[in-house]
């Protein structure tokens, strides 16, 4: 599914709207996991607005593609995506993290419509994805399973159990991503617990690895097209080099913004920064799009 | 009477409890194409080899990776399959506790954990392979039904009930042979309802797992030797616990002893005690089980003897509790 310029621009517009909605949700909630929410946003936008098969009016449709946000703390970005699509009332975002809300920072699949797995405790999502991918095989269904891990999350050994099994079972109906923003709560990933050589690790576990700029819509689409066209029996892992807080200049690439809050002044600055970021992204799409 | 070494008679005509589970699983597999089986390199030990042979496309050995197995099962259940996961109780309840809690229970998926080698039944393997905390852990997980069947027959009933009831189940069964308590499957097994193995008015023994057989042996002996009428309840469902049966035992017999192959902290005894205390009714009460220590190494029957959860130990405990003369207490009428 090659990306036309028009489509690219539409995806940029959607990504901008959803970054803004994520910022708003963080502002309404008082605080949130904005850093990792903004780094993963382009992956969410591309999947939900270009590739994934689903029916908003039938969220449990058995043939839908599955999406598992293993880095469940990015719920503050995922909830806006699902609400914007109409799975849930957008007004619910104003209750995010508030007492009595159906939306907490880690989304509950039994409360938030459209969520395929309740995640939050890290190192769970990839195993669940292996399960839904194997189930497709048992049930004779052709849906795909998409899973997004955080990079810090990859410290958890359970991911590597899952990785081993994804390759062992030749799960080419599962496409994996790591949001490699190189930050975790206590510091840079390479300072807290070294991950490099990261791509080699995934290769050693049996994956075909594509390493891309995960905040570049075009590169994301190319990588997913590559995964769709994969005719080997190895699963594909797309390592997405991203920027934590992508789009808001004063929080970008700063692990201290793993979880943060915006006062009115910062909120206004953040909105202005998102506008400027969008303008740059549009200019790139206009220039590089075909 | 039942002595201290009566538990494991190697009876070549009977089946190990896990083998009965294996047969039940094949039966379910034949009838229901959505049933799948998973194990973590313990297909032989957990006796699900027949399912593997008959349904190779629905059998998944994930290697020695319990956490992954639980996550995979959750994903499968979310997609409409009914996974049965088999591994040792110690690993099912502790190694993958986060996955059991978060992936299976929190998401409330229709997955069934068959945890084998429970309690001290893998005696010679030592405490790394004894599961003496699994009931304490699992019964604190919301949405999870926790069952500890008394024998192979009850295991069959529990496995079938698990299939027929939506939601996550944890069924703990023993390694090896269990003495057979029930000679028919048709004794009215119902999840959450204790089975009255024998009636009595002097004292109630509430037991689970292999301790039910031992309790029944003890009651039999005490009836003949001491003239005691002892009620024996097979409390196979640890959660949801049969509150009515417990309160009735308090009111009818005023003396309760619980027996379990599990730490006395957090398991059946604690679950029963919670109900007794909340009932506000007076009752002499004693818990038998693993006394908050790692159990010794040995044959299961020997360990049960050392722990006092075999018939001999139960007899001694009953005699001790029968000495409690609390009914003559002046304050007896003060109970609420």
Dump pLDDT digits (tens) for B142-199.
999 999 999 999 999 999 999 999 999 999 999 988 899 999 999 999 999 999 999 9
pLDDT at residue B336 in the model = 44
- Residues forming a β-bridge with A260: A32
Q: Which domain holds residue B219?
A: 195-327
Cis? peptide before A197, omega within 30° of 0: yes
Burial of B119: CB neighbours in 10 Å, binned 0-12, 13-18, 19+: buried
Can you tell me the ipTM of this complex? 0.96
Q: Are B261 and B230 in contact (CB under 8 A)?
A: no
Q: What is the pLDDT of residues B217-232, one digit of tens each?
A: 999 999 999 999 999 9
**Within-domain flag for B10:** no
Give dist(CA A19, CA A98) in Å, integer: 20
Q: Are B159 and B21 in contact (CB under 8 A)?
A: yes
Same domain, B91 and B161: yes
The predicted model scores a pTM of: 0.94
Q: Please, which residues have CB within 8 angstroms of residue A196's CB and are 6 or more apart in sequence?
A: A190
Same domain, B168 and B222: no
In chain B, how many domains are there? 2
Inter-chain touch B71–A124, beta carbons under 8 Å: yes
Average pLDDT over residues A157-186: 98
Q: Are A227 and A237 in contact (CB under 8 A)?
A: no
- Backbone angles phi and psi of A94, in degrees to 5: -75, -10
Give dist(CA A171, CA A175) in Å, integer: 9
Residues 72-101 of chain A whose Cβ lies under 8 A from any Cβ of chain B: none
**Within-domain flag for B227:** yes
pLDDT at residue B9 in the model = 36
Residue A146, pLDDT > 80, answer yes
Burial of B91: CB neighbours in 10 Å, binned 0-12, 13-18, 19+: buried
Same domain, B213 and B281: yes
**Within-domain flag for B199:** yes
To the nearest whole Å, the CA of B111 is away from the closest chain A CA by 12
Assess A234–B contact: CB distance below 8 Å, yes or no: no
**Within-domain flag for B204:** yes
Assess B56–A contact: CB distance below 8 Å, yes or no: no
Average pLDDT over residues A230-235: 98
pLDDT at residue B330 in the model = 56
Residue A148, pLDDT > 70, answer yes
Residue A157: its chain B contacts at CB < 8 A? 67
Average pLDDT over residues A49-71: 98
Same domain, B261 and B227: yes
Within 10 angstroms of residue A168's Cβ, the number of other Cβ atoms is: 15
What CATH number corresponds to the domain at position B53?
Answer: 3.40.50.970
Give the A:B interface size as CB pairs under 8 Å: 111
Same domain, B166 and B278: no
**Within-domain flag for B1:** no
pLDDT (tens, 9 = 90+) of chain B, 336 residues, equals: 344 333 333 443 468 999 999 999 999 999 999 999 999 999 888 889 999 999 999 999 999 999 999 999 999 999 999 999 999 999 999 999 999 999 999 999 999 999 999 999 999 999 999 999 999 999 999 999 999 999 999 999 999 999 999 999 999 999 988 899 999 999 999 999 999 999 999 999 999 999 999 999 999 999 999 999 999 999 999 999 999 999 999 999 999 999 999 999 999 999 999 999 999 999 999 999 999 999 999 999 999 999 999 999 999 999 999 997 665 555 555 554
Same domain, B221 and B163: no
Q: Verify whether residue B66 is a known catalytic residue.
A: yes
Q: Please, which residues have CB within 8 angstroms of residue B238's CB and are 6 or more apart in sequence?
A: B135, B139, B146, B147, B148, B208, B267, B268, B271
Average pLDDT over residues A98-126: 97
Cα B235-B238-B243 angle, rounded to 5 deg: 70
Same domain, B221 and B300: yes
A5-288 belongs to CATH 3.40.50.970: yes
Residue A158: its chain B contacts at CB < 8 A? 67-68, 71, 99
Task: Choose the catalytic residue: B19, B27, B34, B66.
Answer: B66
A275: three-class secondary structure by DSSP? helix
Same domain, B164 and B53: yes
Assess A135–B contact: CB distance below 8 Å, yes or no: yes
Inter-chain touch A138–B81, beta carbons under 8 Å: yes
**Within-domain flag for B336:** no
Assess B218–A contact: CB distance below 8 Å, yes or no: no
What does each C-alpha distance from A271 to A19, A200, A257, A278, B148 come to in angstroms?
10, 38, 16, 11, 58
Assess B26–A contact: CB distance below 8 Å, yes or no: no
Give dist(CA A251, CA A247) in Å, integer: 9
Same domain, B147 and B203: no
Smallest Cβ distance to B72: which of A108, A130, A136? A130
Smallest Cβ distance to A127: which of B34, B71, B79? B71
Residue of A nearest to B105 (CA): A118
């Amino acid at each position: 599914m090659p990306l036309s310029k028009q489509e690219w621009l539409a995806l940029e517009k959607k990504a901008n709207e959803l970054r803004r909605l994520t910022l708003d949700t963080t502002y309404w909630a008082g605080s949130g996991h904005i850093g990792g929410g903004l780094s993963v946003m382009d992956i969410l936008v591309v999947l939900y607005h270009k590739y994934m098969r689903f029916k908003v009016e039938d969220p449990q449709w058995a043939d839908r593609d599955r999406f598992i946000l293993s880095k469940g703390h990015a719920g503050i970005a995922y909830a806006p995506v699902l609400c914007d699509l109409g799975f849930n009332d957008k007004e619910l975002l104003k209750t995010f993290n508030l007492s009595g809300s159906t939306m907490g920072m880690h989304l509950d699949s039994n409360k938030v419509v459209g969520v395929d797995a309740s995640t939050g405790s890290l190192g769970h999502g990839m195993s669940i994805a292996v399960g839904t991918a194997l189930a497709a095989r048992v049930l004779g269904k052709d849906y795909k399973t998409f899973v997004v891990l955080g990079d810090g999350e990859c410290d958890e050994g359970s991911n590597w159990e899952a990785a081993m099994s994804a390759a062992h079972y030749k799960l080419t109906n599962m496409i994996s991503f790591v949001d490699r923003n190189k930050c975790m709560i206590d510091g840079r990933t390479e300072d807290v617990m070294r991950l490099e050589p990261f791509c080699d690790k995934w290769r050693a576990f049996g994956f075909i690895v594509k390493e891309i700029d995960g905040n570049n819509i075009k590169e994301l689409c190319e990588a997913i097209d590559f995964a769709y066209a994969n005719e080997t029996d190895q699963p594909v892992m797309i390592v997405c080099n991203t920027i934590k807080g992508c789009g808001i200049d004063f929080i970008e690439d700063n692990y201290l913004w793993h979880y943060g809050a915006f006062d009115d002044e910062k909120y206004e600055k953040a909105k202005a920064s998102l506008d400027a970021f969008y303008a740059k992204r549009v200019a790139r799409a206009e220039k590089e799009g075909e | 009477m039942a002595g201290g070494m009566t538990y494991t008679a190697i009876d070549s005509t009977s089946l190990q409890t896990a083998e009965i589970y294996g047969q039940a699983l094949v039966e379910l597999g034949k009838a229901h194409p959505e049933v799948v089986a998973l194990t973590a390199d313990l297909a032989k030990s957990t006796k699900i080899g027949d399912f593997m042979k008959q349904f190779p496309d629905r059998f998944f050995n994930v290697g020695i990776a319990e956490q992954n197995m639980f996550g995979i099962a959750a994903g499968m259940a979310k997609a409409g399959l009914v996974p049965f996961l088999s591994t040792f109780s110690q690993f099912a309840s502790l190694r993958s506790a986060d996955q059991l809690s978060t992936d299976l229970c929190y998401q409330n998926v229709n997955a069934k954990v068959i945890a084998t080698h429970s309690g001290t039944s893998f005696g010679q393997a030592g405490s790394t392979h004894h599961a003496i905390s699994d009931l304490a852990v699992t019964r604190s997980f919301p949405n999870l039904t926790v069952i500890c069947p008394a024998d192979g027959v009850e295991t069959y009933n529990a496995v079938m009930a698990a299939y027929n009831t939506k939601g996550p189940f944890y069924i703990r069964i023993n390694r090896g042979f269990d003495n057979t308590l029930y000679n028919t499957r048709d004794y009215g097994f119902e999840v959450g309802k204790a089975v009255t193995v024998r009636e009595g008015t002097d004292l109630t023994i509430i037991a689970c797992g292999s301790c039910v057989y031992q309790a029944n042996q003890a009651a039999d002996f005490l009836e003949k030797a001491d003239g005691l009428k002892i009620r024996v309840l097979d409390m196979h469902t640890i959660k949801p616990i049969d509150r009515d049966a417990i309160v009735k035992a308090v009111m009818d017999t005023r003396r309760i002893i619980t027996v379990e192959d599990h730490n006395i902290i957090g398991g059946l005894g604690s679950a029963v005690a919670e109900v007794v205390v909340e009932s506000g009714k007076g009752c002499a009460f004693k818990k038998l089980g693993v006394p908050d220590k790692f159990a010794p190494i040995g044959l299961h029957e020997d360990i049960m003897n050392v722990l006092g959860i075999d018939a001999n130990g139960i007899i001694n405990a009953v005699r001790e509790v029968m000495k409690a003369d609390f009914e003559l207490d002046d304050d007896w009428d003060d109970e609420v």
